[in-house]
Structure 1
Amino acid sequence: MTVLRPLAARYGSWLNLPAADTADTSDEDSERVRAMPVILRIERATPPGRTALLEAAATAAIALCLDERAAPGGEWHEEVACWVDGRIRKVARRARGAHWAAVQRLPGVTVEVAGAQARALLPGRIVDTPREVGRLQISGSELPADEPGPAPEGVPVLWLNPGITMSVGKAAAQVGHATMILAALLDAARLARWAGQGYRCAVRAPTPGEWAELCSVDDPATAWRERSVVAVRDAGFTEIAPGTITVLAQY
């Protein structure tokens, strides 16, 4: 969990801030901006289910961060640590066919859920984005909403804000943020249990009433302490207004 310690510290301080003070939209040096590419496999003839694809993306993001290669002394540690130390920005792109095969050769972790596949790649500076990734589309593909049924017992649930609309790519990035924040705050025993499940998670869309009950924006510390709920606040760079809570993760 060492690589996630800066994220735990930042979220921990957020728990004690008023909601209006938690969004960070400060300027960045474009040459230094880092991001994790998340590649979503969306074949034209056989597109995946939306929920399964989001679950694969969420699991892939945290699986890469907690991979032994990202631990201190591992070959990925420096890149992952530099990224986590700043904003945990992700850029989701879609791939199919030969382009999907090409990104498998880049450092990363691929996860499959119910036939849907997503690959989280080693984060780095956006200006250094590999050619195989840079040629992929960021937008342009959408998947219809589905009905995944009740969430399985014993795994974290990532609740999507029912009051906003997010593209598949945006939602994939947000659920990836959610699993990282959750892992950063879990105690060692619960994190080990989750690791034993391969960081499996469920993505679900609550009703507005369920969301209101879960989303304690005025008292996030109590939400974590009493219900193990963490919130993802968007910085507002794409699609969503700054400070919007996009996902609630509940263990």
Structure 2
Amino acid sequence: MRPDYDPLDDPPWAMQLVVRAEKASPPSHGAVCEAAATAVVELLTDPRAADPEGEWAEAVRQWESRRIRKVTRRARGVRWPEAQEPPGVTVDVNGAEVRALVPGPVAEVPPQIAKLQVAGLDLPDDEEPEPAPEPPYAALALNPGVSITTGKAAAQCGHAAQLLLRQGAVPDVTAWIEGGLRVHLVRDIAWGRCVERATVAVRDGGFTEVPPGTMTAIAWIVR
């Protein structure tokens, strides 16, 4: 038996995140991170997931009772409209389109996305990042001391936004939801200052790219 085996994680489940990455006009790294985080929380607050009787509620409950996994894939051309077929939520944030699919067992990925590439999504960042939106919004920050691809960063930002939604102070989270679930990737504040402000922190499971326990992303709500 593997030393990291967890019976509560058997079988493992994951939320699939599909990033539209056309060759001619790929989105930026930062925009993909913001869109991924937005898609995750929009799915989790959708009545189909948030209502205990909603059609997605049981799948979300099953997923959140295990290790929280997200898998980022990329799609282009005809693969992008095909990725819209499985149930989920698609968002467009600053030119980046990301679809979050309803979670399911990793061994039962919908056929429309099963062959989409997982590894290797690494995109350039904006020369001039978008300014922060009007509050309330969720501020996310990625650890500058950790080198990860855009695909990995998108998943980590999705984790951070999910933790913030579930663990943030109720008045802050309520204001964030009512304000439209806006998300902003912070890049103009020193990491140490971001850590001081953070409400939640993501410590990676170590399945890809970084060692287990690495703090990859943090988040807090700005009101």
Please, which of 106, 116, 119 is the counterpart of residue 86 of structure 2?
106
Larger helix fraction of residues: 1
Q: Structure 2 regions of 5+ residues with no counterpart?
A: none
Work out whether residues 162 and 205 of structure 1, in 8 Å CA contact, stay in contact via their aligned partners in 2: no
Aligned partners of 1:91 and 1:245: how far apart in 2? 18
* 1:48 maps to 2:18: no
Q: Which moved more, 1:174-183 or 1:139-148?
A: 139-148
- Cα deviation per residue 1:198-244 (whole Å; 9 max; x = unaligned)? 2110013356xx212333xxxxxxx5xxx452111101110011111
Which residue of the partner structure matches residue 210 of structure 2? 240
Aligned partners of 1:121 and 1:149: how far apart in 2? 26
1:121 Cα deviation from its structure 2 partner: 0.1
Aligned partners of 2:84 and 2:6: how far apart in 1? 30
Work out whether residues 34 and 184 of structure 2, in 8 Å CA contact, stay in contact via their aligned partners in 1: yes
- Cα deviation per residue 1:66-108 (whole Å; 9 max; x = unaligned)? 2100120000011000001111100000001111100111100
Tell me how many residue pairs correspond in the alignment.
215
RMSD: 1.8
* 1:213 maps to 2:193: yes
TM-score, scaled to structure 2: 0.90
Work out whether residues 109 and 121 of structure 1, in 8 Å CA contact, stay in contact via their aligned partners in 2: yes
Alignment of 1:32-181 (within 5 A): 32-70=11-49, 71-146=51-126, 147-154=128-135, 155-181=137-163
Identity of aligned residues (%): 45
Please, which of 166, 173, 176 is the counterpart of residue 184 of structure 1?
166
Structure 2 CA distance for partners of 1:149 and 1:67, relative to 1, 3 Å: closer
1:114 Cα deviation from its structure 2 partner: 1.6
TM-score, scaled to structure 1: 0.80
